[in-house]
Structure 1
Protein backbone atom coordinates (compact mmCIF):
# COMPACT_ATOMS: atom_id res chain seq x y z
CA UNK A 1 0.00 0.00 0.00
CA UNK A 2 2.92 2.37 0.59
CA UNK A 3 4.11 1.76 -2.98
CA UNK A 4 0.78 2.83 -4.46
CA UNK A 5 0.77 5.96 -2.30
CA UNK A 6 4.36 6.72 -3.29
CA UNK A 7 3.72 6.44 -7.03
CA UNK A 8 0.50 8.46 -6.83
CA UNK A 9 1.53 11.26 -4.50
CA UNK A 10 5.31 11.51 -5.04
CA UNK A 11 5.87 10.65 -8.72
CA UNK A 12 9.20 12.49 -9.05
CA UNK A 13 12.38 10.69 -10.01
CA UNK A 14 13.17 7.42 -11.75
CA UNK A 15 11.81 4.85 -9.30
CA UNK A 16 8.14 5.95 -9.36
CA UNK A 17 8.33 6.03 -13.16
CA UNK A 18 9.32 2.35 -13.06
CA UNK A 19 5.93 1.60 -11.56
CA UNK A 20 4.32 0.33 -8.41
CA UNK A 21 5.88 -3.13 -8.60
CA UNK A 22 9.41 -1.78 -8.55
CA UNK A 23 8.66 0.72 -5.78
CA UNK A 24 7.12 -2.06 -3.69
CA UNK A 25 10.34 -4.07 -3.95
CA UNK A 26 12.37 -0.97 -3.12
CA UNK A 27 10.34 -0.39 0.04
CA UNK A 28 10.64 -4.06 1.01
CA UNK A 29 14.42 -3.83 0.59
CA UNK A 30 14.45 -0.98 3.11
CA UNK A 31 12.37 -3.04 5.54
CA UNK A 32 14.83 -5.93 5.25
CA UNK A 33 17.98 -3.80 5.45
CA UNK A 34 19.47 -3.22 8.92
CA UNK A 35 20.04 0.38 7.82
CA UNK A 36 16.61 1.00 6.30
CA UNK A 37 13.65 2.71 7.97
CA UNK A 38 10.01 2.47 6.89
CA UNK A 39 7.36 3.96 9.17
CA UNK A 40 3.67 3.80 8.31
CA UNK A 41 0.69 5.77 9.59
CA UNK A 42 -2.67 4.04 9.35
CA UNK A 43 -6.31 4.82 9.96
CA UNK A 44 -8.11 1.56 10.44
CA UNK A 45 -6.93 -0.66 7.59
CA UNK A 46 -5.97 2.32 5.41
CA UNK A 47 -2.43 3.63 4.99
CA UNK A 48 -2.55 7.42 5.20
CA UNK A 49 1.16 8.15 5.23
CA UNK A 50 4.66 6.76 5.41
CA UNK A 51 8.32 7.71 5.77
CA UNK A 52 11.11 5.97 3.89
CA UNK A 53 14.72 6.54 4.87
CA UNK A 54 17.99 5.15 6.14
CA UNK A 55 20.19 5.59 9.18
CA UNK A 56 23.32 5.18 7.03
CA UNK A 57 22.89 5.83 3.32
CA UNK A 58 26.16 4.36 1.99
CA UNK A 59 25.73 1.23 4.13
CA UNK A 60 22.09 0.87 3.08
CA UNK A 61 22.96 1.17 -0.61
CA UNK A 62 25.72 -1.42 -0.18
CA UNK A 63 23.36 -3.81 1.65
CA UNK A 64 20.64 -3.51 -1.00
CA UNK A 65 23.15 -4.07 -3.80
CA UNK A 66 24.49 -7.14 -2.00
CA UNK A 67 21.12 -8.67 -1.09
CA UNK A 68 18.51 -7.32 -3.54
CA UNK A 69 20.55 -6.43 -6.64
CA UNK A 70 19.23 -9.05 -9.05
CA UNK A 71 15.61 -8.80 -7.94
CA UNK A 72 15.59 -5.03 -8.42
CA UNK A 73 17.54 -5.21 -11.69
CA UNK A 74 15.16 -7.77 -13.17
CA UNK A 75 12.11 -5.75 -12.18
CA UNK A 76 13.60 -2.50 -13.46
CA UNK A 77 14.64 -4.09 -16.77
CA UNK A 78 11.15 -5.44 -17.31
CA UNK A 79 9.68 -1.98 -16.76
CA UNK A 80 12.23 -0.27 -19.00
CA UNK A 81 11.56 -2.70 -21.85
CA UNK A 82 7.88 -1.76 -21.82
CA UNK A 83 8.42 1.98 -21.25
CA UNK A 84 10.75 3.25 -23.98
CA UNK A 85 10.52 6.90 -22.96
CA UNK A 86 11.52 6.05 -19.40
CA UNK A 87 14.30 3.79 -20.75
CA UNK A 88 15.69 6.56 -22.94
CA UNK A 89 15.70 9.00 -20.04
CA UNK A 90 17.41 6.44 -17.81
CA UNK A 91 20.18 5.76 -20.31
CA UNK A 92 20.72 9.45 -20.95
CA UNK A 93 20.84 10.61 -17.33
CA UNK A 94 21.70 7.64 -15.11
CA UNK A 95 22.78 4.56 -17.04
CA UNK A 96 26.55 4.65 -16.56
CA UNK A 97 26.29 5.67 -12.90
CA UNK A 98 23.95 2.80 -12.05
CA UNK A 99 26.08 0.23 -13.89
CA UNK A 100 29.15 1.33 -11.97
CA UNK A 101 27.33 1.14 -8.66
CA UNK A 102 25.67 -2.21 -9.28
CA UNK A 103 28.90 -3.85 -10.36
CA UNK A 104 31.06 -2.32 -7.66
CA UNK A 105 32.94 0.21 -9.77
CA UNK A 106 31.78 3.29 -7.95
CA UNK A 107 31.33 3.98 -4.27
CA UNK A 108 28.03 5.30 -2.96
CA UNK A 109 28.23 9.05 -2.44
CA UNK A 110 28.68 10.27 1.11
CA UNK A 111 25.80 12.72 0.87
CA UNK A 112 22.38 12.89 -0.69
CA UNK A 113 22.86 15.97 -2.83
CA UNK A 114 25.22 14.93 -5.59
CA UNK A 115 27.15 17.66 -7.37
CA UNK A 116 26.35 21.14 -6.11
CA UNK A 117 27.15 23.68 -3.43
CA UNK A 118 26.38 21.52 -0.37
CA UNK A 119 29.16 21.71 2.23
CA UNK A 120 30.44 18.44 3.61
CA UNK A 121 29.96 17.93 7.33
CA UNK A 122 32.86 16.70 9.42
CA UNK A 123 31.22 13.53 10.66
CA UNK A 124 29.71 10.32 9.35
CA UNK A 125 27.65 8.27 8.66
CA UNK A 126 24.84 10.19 7.00
CA UNK A 127 21.16 9.40 7.44
CA UNK A 128 18.78 10.31 4.63
CA UNK A 129 15.07 10.99 4.68
CA UNK A 130 14.24 9.66 1.23
CA UNK A 131 10.49 10.19 1.12
CA UNK A 132 7.63 11.34 3.30
CA UNK A 133 4.16 10.98 1.82
CA UNK A 134 0.76 11.72 3.32
CA UNK A 135 -2.47 10.82 1.54
CA UNK A 136 -4.84 13.71 0.82
CA UNK A 137 -7.32 12.47 3.43
CA UNK A 138 -4.63 12.56 6.11
CA UNK A 139 -3.22 16.01 5.50
CA UNK A 140 -3.59 18.87 7.94
CA UNK A 141 -3.57 16.49 10.91
CA UNK A 142 0.14 16.47 11.73
CA UNK A 143 0.72 13.02 10.22
CA UNK A 144 3.79 14.11 8.25
CA UNK A 145 5.31 15.88 11.25
CA UNK A 146 4.77 12.86 13.49
CA UNK A 147 6.34 10.51 10.95
CA UNK A 148 9.39 12.70 10.40
CA UNK A 149 9.98 13.17 14.13
CA UNK A 150 9.69 9.40 14.68
CA UNK A 151 12.24 8.84 11.92
CA UNK A 152 14.63 11.36 13.48
CA UNK A 153 14.20 9.65 16.84
CA UNK A 154 15.38 6.37 15.28
CA UNK A 155 18.33 8.15 13.66
CA UNK A 156 19.31 9.80 16.94
CA UNK A 157 19.08 6.48 18.79
CA UNK A 158 21.46 5.03 16.19
CA UNK A 159 23.99 7.72 17.12
CA UNK A 160 23.90 9.49 13.76
CA UNK A 161 24.53 13.23 13.90
CA UNK A 162 23.63 14.29 10.37
CA UNK A 163 20.43 13.78 8.42
CA UNK A 164 19.80 15.19 4.94
CA UNK A 165 17.03 15.27 2.38
CA UNK A 166 16.32 16.87 -0.95
CA UNK A 167 13.06 18.46 -2.03
CA UNK A 168 12.09 20.25 -5.20
CA UNK A 169 12.37 24.02 -5.21
CA UNK A 170 9.19 26.05 -5.55
CA UNK A 171 5.57 25.08 -5.12
CA UNK A 172 6.09 21.44 -6.10
CA UNK A 173 8.45 20.88 -3.15
CA UNK A 174 8.08 20.93 0.62
CA UNK A 175 10.75 23.41 1.69
CA UNK A 176 8.37 25.33 3.95
CA UNK A 177 7.36 22.18 5.81
CA UNK A 178 10.97 21.27 6.57
CA UNK A 179 11.96 24.81 7.55
CA UNK A 180 9.12 24.95 10.06
CA UNK A 181 10.30 21.62 11.45
CA UNK A 182 13.79 22.97 12.11
CA UNK A 183 15.67 21.76 9.03
CA UNK A 184 18.20 24.14 7.45
CA UNK A 185 18.82 24.55 3.76
CA UNK A 186 22.51 23.93 3.04
CA UNK A 187 22.57 23.99 -0.74
CA UNK A 188 20.85 23.43 -4.05
CA UNK A 189 21.59 21.79 -7.37
CA UNK A 190 19.94 20.73 -10.61
CA UNK A 191 19.09 17.04 -10.52
CA UNK A 192 19.42 14.53 -13.35
CA UNK A 193 15.92 15.33 -14.56
CA UNK A 194 16.78 19.02 -14.93
CA UNK A 195 14.83 20.19 -11.87
CA UNK A 196 16.29 22.43 -9.20
CA UNK A 197 16.22 20.76 -5.81
CA UNK A 198 17.15 22.01 -2.35
CA UNK A 199 19.21 20.10 0.18
CA UNK A 200 18.22 20.33 3.85
CA UNK A 201 20.14 19.12 6.88
CA UNK A 202 19.31 18.62 10.54
CA UNK A 203 21.00 17.19 13.62
CA UNK A 204 18.40 14.65 14.86
CA UNK A 205 19.46 15.31 18.46
CA UNK A 206 17.93 18.78 18.04
CA UNK A 207 14.47 17.29 17.67
CA UNK A 208 14.81 15.11 20.77
CA UNK A 209 16.02 18.06 22.83
CA UNK A 210 13.12 20.37 21.97
Structure 2
Protein backbone atom coordinates (compact mmCIF):
# COMPACT_ATOMS: atom_id res chain seq x y z
CA UNK A 1 0.00 0.00 0.00
CA UNK A 2 1.35 3.43 -0.93
CA UNK A 3 2.34 5.99 1.70
CA UNK A 4 -0.31 8.37 0.32
CA UNK A 5 -3.04 5.74 0.74
CA UNK A 6 -1.88 4.96 4.29
CA UNK A 7 -1.89 8.67 5.15
CA UNK A 8 -5.41 8.96 3.74
CA UNK A 9 -6.53 5.98 5.86
CA UNK A 10 -5.07 7.55 9.03
CA UNK A 11 -6.88 10.83 8.27
CA UNK A 12 -10.16 9.00 7.65
CA UNK A 13 -9.76 7.00 10.86
CA UNK A 14 -9.06 10.25 12.76
CA UNK A 15 -12.22 11.80 11.31
CA UNK A 16 -14.28 8.73 12.21
CA UNK A 17 -12.91 8.99 15.75
CA UNK A 18 -13.88 12.67 15.89
CA UNK A 19 -17.38 11.91 14.62
CA UNK A 20 -18.02 8.75 16.64
CA UNK A 21 -16.16 9.42 19.89
CA UNK A 22 -16.68 13.18 20.02
CA UNK A 23 -17.52 13.29 23.72
CA UNK A 24 -14.18 11.73 24.67
CA UNK A 25 -11.06 13.61 25.63
CA UNK A 26 -8.95 12.53 22.64
CA UNK A 27 -11.39 14.17 20.22
CA UNK A 28 -10.57 17.53 21.83
CA UNK A 29 -6.96 17.15 20.67
CA UNK A 30 -8.06 17.43 17.05
CA UNK A 31 -7.66 15.50 13.81
CA UNK A 32 -3.90 16.06 13.46
CA UNK A 33 -3.06 14.45 16.80
CA UNK A 34 -5.53 11.62 16.16
CA UNK A 35 -4.08 10.87 12.71
CA UNK A 36 -0.58 10.74 14.23
CA UNK A 37 -1.83 8.51 17.05
CA UNK A 38 -3.50 6.00 14.69
CA UNK A 39 -0.43 5.97 12.46
CA UNK A 40 1.64 5.21 15.57
CA UNK A 41 -0.78 2.46 16.64
CA UNK A 42 -0.46 0.92 13.18
CA UNK A 43 3.35 1.05 13.26
CA UNK A 44 4.23 0.42 16.92
CA UNK A 45 5.25 -2.99 18.15
CA UNK A 46 2.47 -4.76 20.05
CA UNK A 47 -0.41 -2.69 18.67
CA UNK A 48 -2.75 -2.99 15.71
CA UNK A 49 -5.13 -0.87 13.62
CA UNK A 50 -7.72 -2.83 11.64
CA UNK A 51 -9.99 -1.04 9.16
CA UNK A 52 -12.99 -1.98 7.06
CA UNK A 53 -13.36 -0.12 3.79
CA UNK A 54 -16.05 0.35 1.18
CA UNK A 55 -13.93 1.09 -1.86
CA UNK A 56 -11.54 3.89 -0.86
CA UNK A 57 -13.68 4.98 2.12
CA UNK A 58 -13.00 3.73 5.66
CA UNK A 59 -16.37 2.75 7.16
CA UNK A 60 -15.06 1.42 10.47
CA UNK A 61 -11.96 0.64 12.48
CA UNK A 62 -10.78 -1.02 15.67
CA UNK A 63 -7.45 -0.50 17.41
CA UNK A 64 -5.81 -2.47 20.17
CA UNK A 65 -2.51 -3.23 21.77
CA UNK A 66 -0.35 -4.04 24.73
CA UNK A 67 -0.33 -0.54 26.17
CA UNK A 68 0.22 2.96 24.90
CA UNK A 69 3.91 3.39 25.80
CA UNK A 70 5.16 2.00 22.43
CA UNK A 71 2.54 4.14 20.65
CA UNK A 72 3.70 7.31 22.43
CA UNK A 73 7.32 6.46 21.57
CA UNK A 74 6.30 5.99 17.93
CA UNK A 75 4.52 9.38 17.97
CA UNK A 76 7.68 11.01 19.33
CA UNK A 77 9.53 9.91 16.20
CA UNK A 78 7.63 12.71 14.45
CA UNK A 79 8.32 15.52 16.96
CA UNK A 80 7.63 18.48 14.67
CA UNK A 81 4.32 17.11 13.37
CA UNK A 82 3.31 16.18 16.93
CA UNK A 83 4.24 19.57 18.38
CA UNK A 84 2.39 21.39 15.60
CA UNK A 85 -0.72 19.22 16.10
CA UNK A 86 -0.65 19.63 19.88
CA UNK A 87 -0.06 23.38 19.88
CA UNK A 88 -3.76 24.44 20.01
CA UNK A 89 -4.39 22.06 22.95
CA UNK A 90 -1.46 23.40 24.93
CA UNK A 91 -3.31 26.71 25.15
CA UNK A 92 -6.02 25.02 27.26
CA UNK A 93 -4.76 24.12 30.78
CA UNK A 94 -7.68 21.72 31.35
CA UNK A 95 -6.58 19.64 28.35
CA UNK A 96 -3.06 19.40 29.72
CA UNK A 97 -4.53 18.02 32.97
CA UNK A 98 -6.55 15.48 30.96
CA UNK A 99 -3.45 14.43 28.99
CA UNK A 100 -1.69 13.77 32.29
CA UNK A 101 -4.71 11.76 33.55
CA UNK A 102 -4.66 9.59 30.42
CA UNK A 103 -0.91 9.01 30.78
CA UNK A 104 -1.37 8.15 34.48
CA UNK A 105 -4.20 5.72 33.63
CA UNK A 106 -2.02 4.00 31.02
CA UNK A 107 0.77 3.55 33.55
CA UNK A 108 -1.62 2.33 36.29
CA UNK A 109 -3.54 -0.08 34.03
CA UNK A 110 -0.26 -1.59 32.85
CA UNK A 111 0.75 -2.41 36.43
CA UNK A 112 -2.58 -3.93 37.48
CA UNK A 113 -1.82 -7.63 37.10
CA UNK A 114 -5.49 -8.53 37.73
CA UNK A 115 -6.39 -7.00 34.34
CA UNK A 116 -5.25 -8.28 30.94
CA UNK A 117 -2.31 -6.32 29.53
CA UNK A 118 -3.83 -6.19 26.04
CA UNK A 119 -6.57 -3.66 25.41
CA UNK A 120 -9.15 -2.71 22.81
CA UNK A 121 -8.32 0.98 22.48
CA UNK A 122 -11.12 2.21 20.22
CA UNK A 123 -13.78 1.00 17.81
CA UNK A 124 -15.91 3.22 15.57
CA UNK A 125 -18.27 2.61 12.66
CA UNK A 126 -19.51 5.35 10.33
CA UNK A 127 -23.19 6.17 11.01
CA UNK A 128 -24.30 5.17 7.51
CA UNK A 129 -22.64 1.74 7.92
CA UNK A 130 -24.13 0.88 11.32
CA UNK A 131 -26.50 -2.06 11.57
CA UNK A 132 -24.59 -3.97 8.87
CA UNK A 133 -22.36 -6.06 11.13
CA UNK A 134 -19.25 -3.89 10.67
CA UNK A 135 -18.61 -3.46 14.41
CA UNK A 136 -19.05 -7.18 15.05
CA UNK A 137 -16.64 -8.09 12.22
CA UNK A 138 -14.02 -5.63 13.43
CA UNK A 139 -14.34 -6.84 17.02
CA UNK A 140 -13.95 -10.49 15.93
CA UNK A 141 -10.91 -9.58 13.80
CA UNK A 142 -9.28 -8.02 16.86
CA UNK A 143 -10.18 -11.10 18.92
CA UNK A 144 -8.55 -13.33 16.28
CA UNK A 145 -5.51 -11.03 16.06
CA UNK A 146 -4.91 -11.15 19.81
CA UNK A 147 -5.41 -14.94 19.85
CA UNK A 148 -2.92 -15.39 17.00
CA UNK A 149 -0.41 -13.31 18.99
CA UNK A 150 -0.76 -15.71 21.94
CA UNK A 151 -2.70 -13.19 24.04
CA UNK A 152 -5.16 -15.01 26.31
CA UNK A 153 -7.47 -12.04 27.07
CA UNK A 154 -7.87 -8.32 26.50
CA UNK A 155 -9.59 -5.51 28.34
CA UNK A 156 -11.96 -2.76 27.25
CA UNK A 157 -12.50 0.42 29.29
CA UNK A 158 -15.94 1.95 28.78
CA UNK A 159 -17.30 5.19 30.22
CA UNK A 160 -20.05 4.53 32.75
CA UNK A 161 -22.68 6.49 30.82
CA UNK A 162 -22.16 4.77 27.44
CA UNK A 163 -25.08 2.32 27.64
CA UNK A 164 -24.97 1.28 23.96
CA UNK A 165 -21.27 0.47 24.21
CA UNK A 166 -21.88 -1.61 27.36
CA UNK A 167 -24.65 -3.55 25.57
CA UNK A 168 -22.38 -4.16 22.55
CA UNK A 169 -19.45 -5.52 24.55
CA UNK A 170 -21.70 -7.78 26.62
CA UNK A 171 -23.32 -9.07 23.41
CA UNK A 172 -19.87 -9.85 22.03
CA UNK A 173 -19.01 -11.91 25.12
CA UNK A 174 -16.95 -9.49 27.24
CA UNK A 175 -17.48 -9.60 31.01
CA UNK A 176 -17.31 -6.62 33.42
CA UNK A 177 -14.39 -7.16 35.82
CA UNK A 178 -13.61 -3.81 37.45
CA UNK A 179 -14.56 -0.16 37.85
CA UNK A 180 -11.99 2.62 37.58
CA UNK A 181 -11.72 6.39 37.26
CA UNK A 182 -9.68 7.56 34.25
CA UNK A 183 -10.75 11.20 34.58
CA UNK A 184 -11.60 12.63 38.00
CA UNK A 185 -15.23 12.05 38.92
CA UNK A 186 -16.01 9.91 35.85
CA UNK A 187 -16.62 6.21 36.48
CA UNK A 188 -15.62 3.68 33.82
CA UNK A 189 -16.22 -0.06 33.64
CA UNK A 190 -13.43 -2.41 32.59
CA UNK A 191 -14.48 -5.50 30.63
CA UNK A 192 -12.35 -8.55 29.86
CA UNK A 193 -12.70 -10.91 26.91
CA UNK A 194 -10.84 -14.21 26.62
CA UNK A 195 -9.50 -14.97 23.16
CA UNK A 196 -9.83 -18.76 23.34
Say if 2:89 is the partner of 1:80: yes
**Aligned 8 A contact 2:47 2:64 in 1:** yes
Q: 1:153: which partner in 2?
A: 144
- Number of residue-to-residue matches in the alignment: 183
Q: 1:66: which partner in 2?
A: 73
Write the deviation string for residues 94-127 of structure 1: whole angstroms up to 9, x where unpaired.
44885xx8xxxxx93344xx9xxx8815xx6x21
Tell me, what secondary structure is at the counterpart of 1:50?
strand
Q: 2:44: which partner in 1?
A: 33
Select the structure with the greater relative contact order (CA < 8 A; seq sep ≥ 6).
1
Q: 1:202: which partner in 2?
A: 193
How far 1:30 sits from its partner (Å)? 0.8
Say if 2:83 is the partner of 1:89: no
**Aligned 8 A contact 1:93 1:193 in 2:** no
Write the deviation string for residues 59-89 of structure 1: whole angstroms up to 9, x where unpaired.
xx332343322636514541224xx4xx221
CA RMSD of aligned residues (A): 2.7
Write out aligned runs for 1:85-124 (5 A): 87-95=92-100, 98=103, 108-111=107-110, 120-121=114-115
**TM-score under structure 1 length normalisation:** 0.76
**Aligned 8 A contact 2:38 2:49 in 1:** yes
**TM-score under structure 2 length normalisation:** 0.81
Say if 2:12 is the partner of 1:21: no
- Supply the distance in 1 between the matched residues of 2:146 and 2:173 (Cα, whole angstroms): 16
**Aligned 8 A contact 2:153 2:193 in 1:** yes
Instruction: Show structure 1 runs of 4+ deviating over 6 A.
Output: none
